[in-house]
Amino acid sequence: MNDTKQLDDLDRRILEVVQADASHTNAELAELVHVSPPTCLRRMKQLTEEGIIERQVALVSPEKVGARLTAIVEITLDVQAAERMEEFERHVAAEGAVMQCYRVSPGPDFVLIVQVADMPAYHALAHRLFATHKNVRNVKAYFSTFRSKFETRIAV
């Protein structure tokens, strides 16, 4: 099933602007994309209702709030049945420090992006999420020493 929507030039202009800065008022956004405010508001509503704009958030600096350690964690499960994979996804989704969770193939079953304060915090999380989970067979973690790029923008 392909649920990709055909975007026109106005949709693309709006998405480019709001992905860079979603704090613009409707009037500011309309001026930036060269349409009237009512047209801009209608398009933003349409893009949101169609799920193209999933949500608008503020990006918080991990370092400024004490979450200095980024871990990229590979997880291999013992049993890969669909219900066991979904159970693991629910298990990690409940943990606030897990920023992203991907099912991957080939290789491990999951790759997680985890943001914590430091190594003791990671150790506690690993024990809580992985060591005590009966279906986790293998955990391999990589720790970021420097983030050279972080982008949330999708090319449209």
Say how far apart CA 104 and CA 73 lie, in whole Å.
Answer: 12
Q: Which residues pair with 101 in a beta bridge?
A: 112
Structural element, H or E, at residue 115: strand 110-116
* Other beta carbons less than 10 A from residue 13's beta carbon: 19
pLDDT tens over the chain, length 156 residues: 577 889 999 999 999 999 999 999 999 999 999 999 999 999 999 999 999 999 999 999 999 999 999 999 999 999 999 999 999 999 999 999 999 999 999 999 999 999 999 999 999 999 999 999 999 999 999 999 999 999 999 999
Say how far apart CA 26 and CA 20 lie, in whole Å.
Answer: 15
Q: In this predicted structure, what is the pLDDT of residue 3?
A: 78
Q: In this predicted structure, what is the pLDDT of residue 1?
A: 58
pTM for this one?
0.88
Radius of gyration of the chain (CA): 20
The structure tokens listed for 36 are: 């009237």
CA distances from 60 to 22, 57, 117, 151 (A): 14, 9, 14, 13
- List, in sequence order, the alpha helices (H) in 34-81: 37-49
Q: In this predicted structure, what is the pLDDT of residue 94?
A: 97
Say how far apart CA 8 and CA 48 lie, in whole Å.
Answer: 15
Q: In this predicted structure, what is the pLDDT of residue 111?
A: 98
CA distances from 24 to 21, 51, 142 (A): 7, 20, 37
